[in-house]
Chains A and B, each alone.
Chain A
């Protein structure tokens, strides 16, 4: 066998297993989702073609609207708070104050727990009768503030948002500290000579120098928020009465509880479009802003 033939054979043999398994179990079902979203189908009897009917129905469905609004809330509010906290903690800790490595290790930890464990822990904390939060409130005499946190439509989404922040803030803090370590000290020294204050240091040196990490952070938080499933599923299953429904729980229920396969697929396609759109704009829009000194 010549070297050329050997190479050609190796190329095919080495590419084939990965390509096959990826095509069969990721790409092919991904394409099928688009196709399924154009049909009405209960999973058994013959499917009927409805064109964009499922998407029109989705636009008018108040529960779907609620789900998209909740996804938007999760996209904006916890992301912003996580970013602010992560930046603040990173800025406070990186100077090497006493106990900085202790704080890093503790703050990072929630990220290691799975969404399911975190969801269960906070389900208990927010629980009306045996919950820690109400226990604390009653303990300090604020009985009036004790509430069934996950049972009140106006409170459930902020409560879940808080849990998202609790989980993510420490992780992104650690990422930011690592990025801040790479900022050359000379920049701060030059700024000091120019009489810059703390805020100017932070705004004009630190933020631009860690912008790449911030960009990745924002993108990941956005994508996580659009696909949010496990936390909501464990804590509320979208309840009470759809108040914390998100696209993923909406899709799951439609497909696997009510057997509206086409309708569920349409929700999945909407999620894909949102993910695609946000990946695109976060890479396009933000790549222009990264600064090289």
Chain B
């Protein structure tokens, strides 16, 4: 488009001069884009190769390549940081809370979008409020709530809290999706003898699939990256999700001075993501831009 605009513009300057100008402009554009590319990639590359250096080498030279690959950094990071547990816990918290919240939110959104009953509108707004409540508002009372319920420092407690936060966003998005399902289809199914539950399970859920996928991705990413709740609600190392395990590993170096282990830990958590991203880049970029609401 832009190229066409340029080409058709009436020329007052000589052709050569214009060509030179465009060429210089392109160089400038590429220079800028390449600079940002380096800024994005270089810290990651540096992180990965530095994690193979011993502590001594880390301090001796910022740039230098490792003289020999210190694989034991990774073993130490894995063990000290309990990263294996971190990975499993993160998967557990994300998958379980997203799955339960998907189900609860879909059920509520179905009823709210399909059946007209008194108070339905109010209940919808009540759910919507949850999208705008900052998580930091509730963190202190939640701590005491879980303490009183005996759910402090437990997988169940943290999972329940994550589930609860995922529900309103799910209702908010799925409500819109379910509204687009033509009611003729549902009425026809009801006349054919399907139960209300059957309509929900066999017709509305499959038709709202893309909405469910969008909600699941965004909720999953939120739980996967969450730090504050995990920091407050979980004490035992074996219950920590990955971000907290990594943060704890970092905090441990204040005493030990063992930075190589943190480099290795960060690499262990970042590299799988990089690989997945290289394989699925298009789907991930599209999926993440689909719904840009949840912060």
Contacts and interface: CB of A to CB of B under 8 A. Distances in A.
Interface of A: 6-7, 10-11, 13-15, 17-19, 21-22, 24-30, 32-33, 36, 43, 85, 88-89, 92-93, 95, 97, 99, 103-117, 120-125, 129-132, 134-135, 138-139, 166, 169-171, 174-175, 178, 185, 188, 192, 198, 201, 213, 216-217, 220, 223-224, 226-227, 229-230, 233-234, 247-248, 251-252, 255-256, 261, 264-265, 268-269, 271-272, 275-276, 279
B243 A175 contact: no
Contacts of B242: 114
Interface in B27-80: 29-30, 32-33, 36-37, 39-44, 46-47, 50, 58-59, 61-63
Nearest to B269: A117
Contact of B132 (A116, A130, A269, A279): A279
B211 interface: no
A109 B285 CA distance: 9
B213 interface: no
Given A29-B140, A113-B270, A247-B136, 4 more contacts: A15-B107, A26-B133, A33-B138, A192-B9
A21 B164 contact: yes
13 contacts: A18-B127, A21-B167, A26-B168, A36-B140, A92-B33, A107-B36, A111-B288, A121-B270, A130-B58, A198-B2, A226-B134, A268-B136, A268-B139
Given A26-B138, A33-B137, A106-B41, A230 B227 contact: yes
Nearest to B221: A112
B136 A11 contact: no
Contacts of A248: 136, 228
Contacts of A122: 43
A36 B144 CA distance: 11
Interface of B: 1-3, 5, 8-9, 26, 29-30, 32-33, 36-37, 39-44, 46-47, 50, 58-59, 61-63, 103-105, 107-108, 110-112, 115, 117, 123, 126-127, 129-130, 132-145, 160-161, 163-165, 167-168, 171, 195-197, 200, 224-225, 227-228, 231-232, 242-244, 246-247, 250, 259, 262-263, 266, 269-270, 273-274, 277, 281, 284-285, 288-289, 292-293, 295
Max count, chain B CB within 10 A of own CB: residue among A14, A104, A227, A275: A14
The 4 A-B pairs with the shortest beta carbon distances in the complex, nearest first, are: A135-B62, A25-B164, A29-B141, A32-B141
Given A11-B115, A17-B107, A112 B284 contact: yes
Contacts of A132: 42-43, 46, 62
A115 to B, nearest CB: 6
A139 B63 contact: yes
A271 B197 CA distance: 42
A30 B136 contact: no
Contacts of A88: 32
A6 B196 CA distance: 8
Contacts of A134: 62
A151 B277 CA distance: 34
Given A19-B123, A36-B140, A188-B5, A108 B247 contact: no
Given A28-B145, A95-B2, A268-B140, A174 B111 contact: no
Contacts of B1: 95, 185, 188
Contacts of A18: 104-105, 107-108, 127, 167, 171
A174 B132 CA distance: 24
A19 B62 contact: no
Given A7-B115, A25-B160, A175-B289, A92 B29 contact: yes
B228 A252 contact: yes
Nearest to A85: B36
A255 B139 CA distance: 10
B28 to A, nearest CB: 10
B58 A256 contact: no
A14 B227 contact: no
Contact of B137 (A30, A108, A139, A224): A30
A120 B246 contact: yes
A22 B292 contact: no
Contacts of A256: 143, 232
Contacts of A275: 132, 134
A117 to B, nearest CB: 5
Contacts of A123: 250
A24 B149 CA distance: 11
A89 to B, nearest CB: 7
A13 B117 CA distance: 14
Contacts of A229: 136, 227-228
Max count, chain A CB within 10 A of own CB: residue among B43, B132, B171, B244: B43
Contact of A25 (B112, B127, B161): B161
Max count, chain A CB within 10 A of own CB: residue among B40, B44, B195, B281: B40
Contacts of B288: 108, 111-112, 171, 174
A112 B273 contact: yes
Contacts of B167: 18, 21-22
A119 to B, nearest CB: 8
A24 B104 CA distance: 14
Contacts of A99: 33
A255 B59 CA distance: 37
B285 A174 contact: yes
B243 A103 contact: no
